[in-house]
Amino acid sequence: MTVDLFKEFDNVFTAIDKLRIFFAPGRINLIGEHTDYNQGHVFPAAISFGTYAIAQKRQDKKLCFYSLNFPETGIIECDLNDLSYKQEHGWANFPKGMISYIEESTIPLPTGMDILFYGDIPNGAGLSSSASIEMVTGVLVDGLFDLHIDRHDLILLGQKVENKYIGVNSGIMDQFAIGKGKKDHGILLNCQTLDYKYAPIQLDNYSIIIINTNIQRILAASKYNERRAQCEQALSDLQIVLSLESLGNLTIGQFEQHKHVIQNKVNEKRAKHVVFENSRTLEAFKQLEKGNLNAFGLLMNESHQSLQSDYEVTGLELDTIVHTAWGHPGVLGARMTGAGFGGCAIALVEKNQVTQFKQQIREVYHKKTGNEASFYIAAIGDGAKEITEGVI
């Protein structure tokens, strides 16, 4: 399907000013799950799916939002003088939150805007459609009003929207991957210092396939916040005997030596996942740099195993897909990606086996869960930016 953004804008609004177009991708996480809010390492990449926003400045102080993905909600209107969260504004709370925090950290915007959004990231699939809409709004406002906001600051504002405006206690990974993504590269990010390095993703005869469970992530936000609280509790138990800032600073040796001070067995498992996942992430980066895809694949598998048994965020759907992938001869590694509780898995699949792979996953998944899986090839793209092409 092609979408002509100029034409769509004209159907909804009256163009009175020069229209400009911005894009922010979604992301996959190669490895390093639930480590970001523990100040550990993550290794995500921006993908070629994302959110487009075409906009103009208005002459008054109104903000008018429209999404081609939610035509039923029509134009959602508010005023720059009241950017508070409103339940009835639904998806538009993401851009509203971003605009509100940009104003707070820069200047009050002189005029309102008409903005039309279009996203091709499957909704609720755990590929960060919400961070993508936050970041596209960020680069758009920055560009339209010449604010020259530092990219790191914009990323932090995106996370603040999620944490304070929407109320999900997420880490920095999604906004960072989307804000700093680079075509054909993964980003190894130290979530404590925000130091990062790019690694070229050269997969030779392999492709990264994204597999969507297509199940609603019910209670994902509350379970996510619960995991985070369990990690905080484990940290505070460990701090009785160790001088430690975060679980991300804990070595495997220290964990083994002191794990008995963690009061609760469940919290101990959560901490174990974080410590080992952090170390796997650093190792995975090294292996990918060396071009050792076999070793990389094995680390992906270990990551899933740990997310399944110790962090307990996978569930029947993701496990069925990943375990079936592990048994396929063309697969070097597979794991869930993102927060879990549904959403997507990724697999490193030999190119000439992709068709057969999809067929097998589709069949087994349907038989075991009654659901249909969808598949996308992950093309690794650039981070959020202005674009000129209006037909996509």
174 is catalytic: yes
Helix (H, G, I), strand (E, B) or coil at 298: helix
Closer residue to ligand GLA in complex, CB, 25/338: 338
Residue 2: count of CB within 10 angstroms of its CB = 5
Taking the least distance from each CB to ligand GLA, the nearer of 36 and 350 is: 36
Q: How far is the CB of 71 from ligand GLA (least distance, A)?
A: 27
Strand 62-67 to strand 76-79: parallel, antiparallel, or no bridges (unpaired)?
antiparallel
Q: Cα-atom radius of gyration of the chain, to the nearest Å?
A: 21
DSSP 109-167: -SS-EEEEEEE-SPTTSSS-HHHHHHHHHHHHHHHHTT----HHHHHHHHHHIIIIII-
Q: How far is the CB of 72 from ligand GLA (least distance, A)?
A: 27
Name the site residues for ligand GLA (rule: CB under 6 A). 29, 33-34, 36-37, 170-171, 173-174, 338-339
Of 56 and 93, the one with the shorter C-beta distance to ligand GLA is: 93
Q: What tokens does 363 get?
A: 């069949």
Q: Report the interhelical angle of 354-369 vs 316-326 (nearest 10°).
A: 140
- Rounded to a whole number of angstroms, the minimum distance from the CB of residue 277 to ligand GLA is 9
Tokens of 355: 């068709």
Nearer to ligand GLA, 166 or 392 (CB): 166
Supply φ then ψ for residue 270, to 5 degrees.
-60, -45
State in angstroms the smallest separation of the CB of 68 from ligand GLA. Answer: 24
Nearer to ligand GLA, 172 or 364 (CB): 172
Nearest to 163 by CA among 256, 274, 62, 36: 36
Among 174, 237, 310, 382, the one annotated catalytic: 174
Neighbours of 355 (CB within 10 A): 10
**Minimum Å distance from CB 223 to ligand GLA?**
11
* Catalytic center residues: 174
